A and B are shown apart, each in its own frame.
Chain A
């Protein structure tokens, strides 16, 4: 186990997670677009937001991989299956506290359930488990995060 393995796993995992979500967009399974959500926190230009969002998303993916690594070191175990379990927990946390509750509070262009007239929100809030973005969103998100976690866990356990 080492941090380089975590970073490599974080990069590969984020690549898979991002690609999975983008594919789900194209298949009309979900309207969730994490790079777009992140990027629009900094700009109202949709094109720039997506480009910036992808960069931010990869950075966030690396940070989470390091957090996984720290926990693996603390408990003395690692592996793709344990990473997948972490990914499941990570996905649930993202869909409930992180994106549903915390992101709308800090995102300057996202509405919250408390946004009132005459304010204008540019982005609808995700809702519980991000269900506002489509009924399949929780499943897509969980599958993508489990894949991310498995890759991070696998890369960390392989790195010596």
Chain B
């Protein structure tokens, strides 16, 4: 992160009530994630879990969604950072009268009877005298449920069915309530502090805490995050970005099950005002190899173990077939529907659920077998049942690789024979063969796997390579390009230093690239409108450059890419080239996974 990113600045004005996507920082507790804008407003929080309906949804409907505002009552400048090594956010407001810092945390540990979920906001006076106001407008059920405001033991509470939140405050002014909100105002001088705690309950009574308990939990939460990040194993050139990415990824790990959500939000648009708005609060099998690779590469053995167990448990119901994605509770269905919300800057529809769940995406088999291969070759044991399932999966790939599919990008146009899908089928059979040779999975059909892998290779090499472009192409007999082909380099489809890969990398840079940015593909995808450059593809390009021997180019690209995050080091899915604005859901797990993977690979290549 550069100093320029940390510099004080007036908050960017909201457009029709919406802060820029770039302005959001994420805090969480391993179950839920809150999105905090630079102006101090929490505009997104789903409770009790990150895939539950929202309580604060102003991110998707500035008028009706609900939020938790906390900001100075006078003009101010703002600077932010995460407390080093943690997911505890510090927002510092500078006014003419003084300086105040807001410490935001979703608590994870600490003394006393802890609430089911707790969001704590501590206001610390650093200099002079600062007046602030706060307003909490809870809107349960994506603002569709009836929310009632009342008091219990004098404490303001908001309820809707079996869910409730209580608002406790200390030195934060008298909490006033009306039919829709709870709010107050406060004044802090240097050395003073105030505290506002939002305690949430789901199907159980609310828990009221003392100030000392909440303060202690904030500090314990910060220590727990610092201990976790301090144990990460990376001392390369991009250490700050890698550790921040690891912390962002950890926010997306659903601790009760070990599942990893693709992002913390839904329906942040890939095009402002457009319809490319998707719910990413699910666990994609596509991300599994990157996730496990990142966990192993950063020394998160426990997380890797838990994630692999979860993945194999979740996919058991559909074995040997894989769903594209699974819910965080392990369920296989994610029916898609739209909500009557206005959408981020009128980007509609607002979707929950994801229809991609039912698509055929052949690449998932390659990614899952690569995941199993990584797991097994890093010293973990694969038991007999899972070994049998992996072998059955390879058998399935032999039967279905000739089918057209929706591809890694989940196109909603007609199915095609996507080159990247075929390459990943080859990866699936190659890794299965290697596991069989090591005696880790049954080898009864290993010869068939080898035969079919060769057939896939013949198909890709004869039908999916354009001699005119000197590049692999998006699908057979076309001249469209696809940045996901870079995964062939990353997952060792062929020799990364071959002429074909060198030509492909050049073609992708030439036709899909723009400076450090890379678009996903050329050609149709069945959805109206356009989209920004896809950040993950830029990191894949950096890693591909390193693996193909162009280490200096890779380093240069990485240096550019780590500058593209927002002020606290987070990435969304895409970037709008004309404005540099972040687009899509945030924080985007795949972007951070790709950053970690690229940093590890480039660092290794630099050392070689």
Residues of A participating in the B interface, judged by any CB pair closer than 8 Å: 25, 28-31, 44-47, 50, 111-125, 127, 132-135
Contacts and interface: CB of A to CB of B under 8 A. Distances in A.
A131 B281 CA distance: 19
A111 B254 CA distance: 10
Contact of B383 (A46, A112, A123, A125): A46
B479 interface: no
Interface of B: 28-31, 48, 87, 108-109, 114, 116, 202, 224-225, 227-228, 250-251, 253, 255-259, 302-303, 305-306, 309-310, 313-314, 316-319, 329-331, 381, 383-386
Helix, strand, loop or mixed for chain A's interface? loop
A47 B318 CA distance: 22
Contact of A118 (B108, B316, B329): B108
A112 B227 contact: no
Contacts of B319: 28
Given A116-B30, A117-B251, A125 B116 contact: no
A123 B251 CA distance: 19
Contacts of A116: 29-31, 108-109, 255
A132 B228 contact: no
Contacts of B255: 111, 115-121
Contact of B386 (A46, A114, A135): A46
Given A47-B384, A123-B309, A132-B331, A117 B256 contact: no
Contacts of A122: 258, 305-306, 309
B496 to A, nearest CB: 33
Contact of A113 (B48, B225, B318): B48
Given A122-B306, A122-B309, A117 B257 contact: no
Given A113-B48, A114-B116, A120 B316 contact: no
A134 B317 CA distance: 7
Contacts of B316: 25, 28, 31
Given A117-B228, A134-B317, 19 more contacts: A31-B313, A44-B305, A46-B381, A47-B383, A47-B384, A111-B256, A113-B31, A113-B116, A113-B256, A114-B116, A117-B31, A117-B108, A118-B228, A120-B303, A120-B305, A122-B258, A122-B305, A124-B259, A127-B329
Given A28-B319, A112-B256, A124 B330 contact: yes
A132 B225 contact: no
A36 B414 CA distance: 42
Nearest to B315: A31
A39 to B, nearest CB: 11
Contacts of B227: 118
18 contacts: A28-B316, A28-B317, A28-B319, A31-B314, A46-B383, A50-B383, A114-B256, A115-B255, A116-B109, A117-B29, A117-B225, A117-B255, A118-B30, A118-B224, A118-B250, A123-B309, A124-B259, A125-B257
